[in-house]
Amino acid sequence: MEKRHLKGSTFLFPGKVNVGYFQKEEDVWLVDTGLDDEAGRKIARYLEYEKKRLRCIVGTHSNADHCGGNAFLKKRTGCLIAATPLEAAVMENTFMEPLLLWTAFPFAEISNRFLQAKPSSVDILIRNPGIFDESGLEAVPLPGHFLEMIGVRTPDDVFFVADALFSETLLAKYHIMFVLDVQAALETLEFIEQQEAEWFVPSHAPAVENIRPLAEANRKSLMRVSQAVLDCCSEPVGKDEIVRRLGTLFGISMSITEFLLYSAAISAHLTWLRKKALIAPFIEDGLLLWRRSS
Ligand SMILES: [Zn+2]
């Protein structure tokens, strides 16, 4: 397993999901763990080889690709897990991630490891921003993408910014990025742009010293989707139809899982447009439809 040095005691396991690594003497703190047991096993082997002790996993949020290695690592090492209360609730009850997307208990096709990690119990509830234990790691609220996501700033001034932003490659591939609160996501981008750090490490993009261009690309992506949703509402339209039209517009094909992820993101855009009084919902012939209100 490749470990990349960033600064001081802060490292990174680069991958589909970047895993942060902070070292204090023989103890290690991780930021997220990756998708599944296999991701956890690779990290465990590395730590055993290096004779390091895993003290704590700091979970940025409870999406399966970030906390999927938690259960394995906790069982193997007895480490602690730290997360915010709402993210902890999902890490401990991981059926809630597909439940959130489907709004009922999940059916077979969405009970997969991409949406539902193995549950893991959380030991440290991060209720406030700032330092939460003796590591000196700082929790930084990054609302918008999920329920109560945090970033983690290390004493070396490396800022792990989780899924507050995605790489240009992912923006170009998926177009409709997962978000639960568009306004909060935009405010989080603005907040990140104002931060000074030696390194910024998004979970799904390479580490960079200057985060501003990527923040701008992510802002544009959110605004483009919002505008496309608003355009759909020029005439009465239901959410599934908006998903279909945006899929065509952006040229994206989708699996059942992806459909639900896109659909949830579009719900967030509808909520935001409704909040700005640009659209309004109504029921017609048993369908929940949206149309422009001005
Ligand atoms: Zn993610």
Give me the mean pLDDT over the 188-197 stretch: 98
Above 90 in pLDDT, residue 111? no
Collapsed DSSP state (helix, strand, coil) of residue 210: coil
162 Cα–ligand 1 center, Å: 7
Contacts of 136 (CB under 8 A, 6+ apart): 24, 154, 155
Contact 239/263 with Cβ under 8 angstroms? yes
Q: Tell me what pLDDT residue 112 has.
A: 87
Above 80 in pLDDT, residue 294? no
The values of phi and psi at residue 275, to 5°, are -60, -35
180 Cα–ligand 1 center, Å: 13
Poorest-confidence range of 43-47, 106-110, 133-137? 106-110
Give me the mean pLDDT over the 213-217 stretch: 98
Contacts of 161 (CB under 8 A, 6+ apart): 142, 151, 192, 200, 201, 202, 203, 211
Q: pTM for the complete prediction?
A: 0.96
113 Cα–ligand 1 center, Å: 13
187 Cα–ligand 1 center, Å: 19
What tokens does 263 get? 């659909």
* Domain 4-223 class, CATH top level: alpha beta
Taking alpha carbons only, the member of 106, 191, 110 closest to residue 145 is 191
What type of residue sits at position 293?
A: S
36 Cα–ligand 1 center, Å: 13
Q: Taken in order 48, 52, 55, 59, is the CA torsion positive or negative?
A: negative
Taking alpha carbons only, the member of 136, 168, 162 closest to residue 147 is 162
Q: Tell me what pLDDT residue 3 has.
A: 95
173 Cα–ligand 1 center, Å: 15
Residues with CB under 5 A from ligand 1 (ion): 63, 65, 163
102 Cα–ligand 1 center, Å: 19
Cα(214)–Cα(207) distance, integer angstroms: 11
Contact 148/87 with Cβ under 8 angstroms? yes
Q: Tell me what pLDDT residue 233 has.
A: 98
Cα(95)–Cα(104) distance, integer angstroms: 10
Cα(126)–Cα(103) distance, integer angstroms: 27
What are the residues facing 282 on neighbouring strands? 289
pLDDT tens for each residue of 75-98:
999 999 999 999 999 999 999 999
61 Cα–ligand 1 center, Å: 8
What are the residues facing 56 on neighbouring strands? 29, 80
Give me the mean pLDDT over the 91-107 stretch: 95
CATH code for 228-292? 1.10.10
163 Cα–ligand 1 center, Å: 5
Start-to-end Cα distance in the chain: 56
58 Cα–ligand 1 center, Å: 14
259 Cα–ligand 1 center, Å: 16
Q: What are the boundaries of each domain within the chain?
A: 4-223, 228-292
Cα(37)–Cα(100) distance, integer angstroms: 23
Q: Tell me what pLDDT residue 85 has.
A: 98
Which DSSP helix (H) or strand (E) runs through 169?
helix 168-174
Above 90 in pLDDT, residue 113? no
Cα(79)–Cα(209) distance, integer angstroms: 31
What are the residues facing 34 on neighbouring strands? 67
Q: Tell me what pLDDT residue 126 has.
A: 98
Q: How far is CA 233 from CA 150, 223, 270, in A?
A: 33, 15, 10
Q: Tell me what pLDDT residue 260 has.
A: 96
287 Cα–ligand 1 center, Å: 32
168 Cα–ligand 1 center, Å: 14
pLDDT tens for each residue of 21-72:
999 999 999 999 999 999 999 999 999 999 999 999 999 999 999 999 999 9
Percent of the chain with pLDDT over 70: 100
34 Cα–ligand 1 center, Å: 9
204 Cα–ligand 1 center, Å: 7
203 Cα–ligand 1 center, Å: 6
Mean pLDDT of the chain: 97
